[in-house]
Structure 1
Amino acid sequence: MIDYSAPDLTQHPPRSPRVRLGGFVHLPRLLDKARAFAAGKHGDYIYPCPMDERLFAFAGVDATAFLDAVKCGKSDTEMLAWLMEHLSPARLPHEILAWSDWLENLAPGDPRRHGNFATEIERMAPGRLDIVTTFDRLELDDYTAFGGRG
């Protein structure tokens, strides 16, 4: 059974980046990674990674302060309340929705990142033409890292 209060990311991946909490895409995954990092069970997952930093930048929240709040044992609901209290600037629901939609559909970006993206897709799932967003690649990587075949 998975213990989401201290997930062991050497045994299973974090939640999908598409899962939302309070309208924020990636937040449940970020919580899984932060909790695993705090417990020393993050495996190959990085906290904070560039995707985490995008959420912190949008929210105006410091990664260390977020991790300190996670270490207090707060639930997902309590961490959402903490995040909402610390948003800087304050965000309206439609802003959170627009940002989440943007992040969920984000592609690699510059030519170098596109090249790395293509190399990784070829390694994990040769011939897949449906992996086009960063979230698509993260989910594929999670799947193949734990024995799935792309």
Structure 2
Amino acid sequence: MPGAAPFRPRNGRLRAGGLPWLARMIDKGRAFRSGTLGDYAFPCSMDLDLLRYLGMEPEAFLALLDLCPQEQTLLETLGIESRPSSEKSLWAEVFEVRHARLLNELDKEEQDERIGNTDE
């Protein structure tokens, strides 16, 4: 499609259901299914970290994406809303510390793209 913007998943720090990376993983999973993932990877190591917390394999997550076209329905099906807030907060904090370097690199890439500075 000429002029179409390349696929870009949501920021990894953006929380869905109280969890960082989940919104991004949802975007990447849907793009993987539709063949529009581009240079991104699914599942990457951060996806696998989140999937371990959710108790899922990548294939099961992709199957849920197919069954749940609406994000809220997906969150409900995953049972994220029923998990204790303290558990999600602790996991989120550990995840962001463990993956701080990559999250910071992704933030910088997004910022550079917004201002048009794509020089490496």
State the Cα distance separating 1:143 from its structure 2 match. 5.0
Structure 2 gap segments, 5+ residues each:
none
User: Aligned partners of 1:91 and 1:143: how far apart in 2?
Assistant: 33
Equivalent residue in structure 2 for 1:95, among 83, 87, 99? 87
TM-score (normalizing by structure 1): 0.66
Contact 1:13 1:142 in 2 (8 A): no
1:140 aligns with 2:108: yes
Q: Which amino acid aligns with 1:48?
A: P
Of all paired residues, the percent bearing the same amino acid is: 30
Where do residues 74-85 of structure 1 align in structure 2 (5 Å cutoff)?
A: 74-84=69-79
Q: Aligned-pair RMSD on alpha carbons? A: 2.5
Partner of 1:104: 96
Runs of 4+ in 1 over 3 A off after TM superposition: 141-148
Does the Cα contact within 8 Å between 2:16 and 2:23 map onto a contact in 1? yes
Q: In the comparison of the two structures, how many residue pairs are matched?
A: 114
Q: Equivalent residues in 2 for 1:1-150 (5 A)?
A: 11-84=6-79, 91-107=83-99, 133-144=101-112, 148-149=116-117
**Bigger relative contact order, structure 1 or 2, given CA contacts below 8 A and separation 6+?**
2
User: Larger C-alpha radius of gyration, 1 or 2?
Assistant: 1
Normalised TM-score (structure 2) = 0.80
- Which structure: greater helix fraction? 2
- Partner of 2:61, secondary structure, is helix
Give structure 1 stretches of 5+ with no counterpart: 1-7, 108-131
